Amino acid sequence: GAGVSQSPRYKVAKRGQDVALRCDPISGHVSLFWYQQALGQGPEFLTYFQNEAQLDKSGLPSDRFFAERPEGSVSTLKIQRTQQEDSAVYLCASSVKDGYEQYFGPGTRLTVT
């Protein structure tokens, strides 16, 4: 079956631009997660959803970061007024429920110039 997909795979943005990153989870997965991964480091938790409810957004680095999952399926991570420190790989994952194994997408590599 289809895994988690993310688009775009690569994004170059000029400093100050807004970007939107999309995640299509595995069909039927209740939980959806966003992570930020810097080079040589492990994924850092940003936020997660249970269906359409955003249950934890404690990892979002600033109020420029916003995530939504309006119909409990596809999710979008939006970054406003991008800064160079936002450059990273953004990973999306989904699972059947909290506490269970997560299935990861290929990530979106964001480069802010």
Partner 1 sequence: AQKVTQAQTEISVVEKEDVTLDCVYETRDTTYYLFWYKQPPSGELVFLIRRNSFDEQNEISGRYSWNFQKSTSSFNFTITASQVVDSAVYFCALSEAPNAGKSTFGDGTTLTVKP
Q: Residue 101, interface with partner 1 (CB under 8 A)?
A: yes
Q: Which is nearer to partner 1, 54 or 76 (CB)?
A: 54
Phi and psi angles of residue 33, each rounded to the nearest 5 degrees, phi first: -130, 145
Q: Which is nearer to partner 1, 14 or 39 (CB)?
A: 39
Rounded CA-CA distance 46/53 in Å is: 15
Quick count: other Cβ atoms within 10 Å of Cβ 81? 12
Q: Cα 98–95–71 angle (5° rounding)?
A: 95
Q: Residue 39, interface with partner 1 (CB under 8 A)?
A: no
Residues from 1 through 30 that contact partner 1 (CB under 8 A)? none
Give the residues lining the site for partner 1 (CB under 8 A): 31, 33, 35, 40-45, 48, 50, 55-56, 58-59, 89, 91, 93, 98-107
